[in-house]
Amino acid sequence: MLKGILNYAHYLLEEAINQDEIVIDATCGNGNDTLFLSELVGEHGKVLAFDIQKEAITATRQRVIEHERTNVFLIHDSHENIAKYLPANKDEKISGAIFNLGYLPKSDKKIITKPDSTITAIDTILEHLRKDGIIVIVVYHGHEGGKEEKEAILKHLFHLDQQQYSVLRYGFINQKNDPPFILAIQKKAN
């Protein structure tokens, strides 16, 4: 069976990430991906979870507490500032990251991810990604501002050096109403 978008996003993360590693949820929202990453890296790993909305940080904190996770670090800041929160030791690499673009469901549809900050965050993570590490981006683009973000990211990733990165696009081309799709970047070399 072909995997749906969210299943495939998790599958890609699962394939690339090991226990005890450092990973990033760049848009934690209600915390679904944060919890998933938390399981993948285990109690000695670390999940850095970002969101600009206090509401999202509170919702994710609640989930983390309910599931008794001790490896999640919630950061109420834009992911464009990720560099500030990464380990000072450059040998401590990131093994994976996920972005769910767009707005928080059932919340203010005007608070959305934006092209410039998303691209800055992607580039920062790429610098710190270990070999075979992966960034998975779930691109929602049906909302106002979504198309511009989608196009800016595609343009940016199109130019990534193929010697250093594999860039994948996965999505269903016969679905109506701007279905989300996945972009994934895997680092080939350190």
Ligand X SMILES: C[S@@+](CC[C@H](N)C(=O)[O-])C[C@H]1O[C@@H](n2cnc3c(N)ncnc32)[C@H](O)[C@@H]1O
Q: Which residues contact ligand X (rule: CB under 6 A)?
A: 27-33, 50-53, 56, 78-80, 100, 102, 104, 111, 113, 117
Look up residue 31 and give its DSSP letter.
S
Asked if residues 164 and 157 have their Cβ atoms less than 8 Å apart, the reply is no
Shortest approach of ligand X to residue 73 CB, angstroms? 14
Alpha carbon distance 139, 146 (integer Å)? 8
- Beta-ladder partners of 156: none
Which residue number, 18 or 53, has a Cβ lying nearer to ligand X? 53
CA gap 25, 164 in Å, rounded? 23
Of residues 90 and 106, the one with the C-beta less far from ligand X: 106
Give the nearest distance from C-beta 27 to ligand X in angstroms: 3
Which residue lies nearer to ligand X by CB, 132 or 179?
A: 179
Q: How far is the CB of 161 from ligand X (least distance, A)?
A: 26
**Minimum distance, C-beta of residue 138 to ligand X, in the bound complex (Å):** 8
The smaller minimum CB distance to ligand X, of residues 42 and 105, is found at 105
34: Cβ–Cβ under 8 A, 6 or more apart, which residues?
25, 28, 47, 49, 60, 63, 64, 72
Quick check: 85 and 72 in contact, CB under 8 A? Answer: no
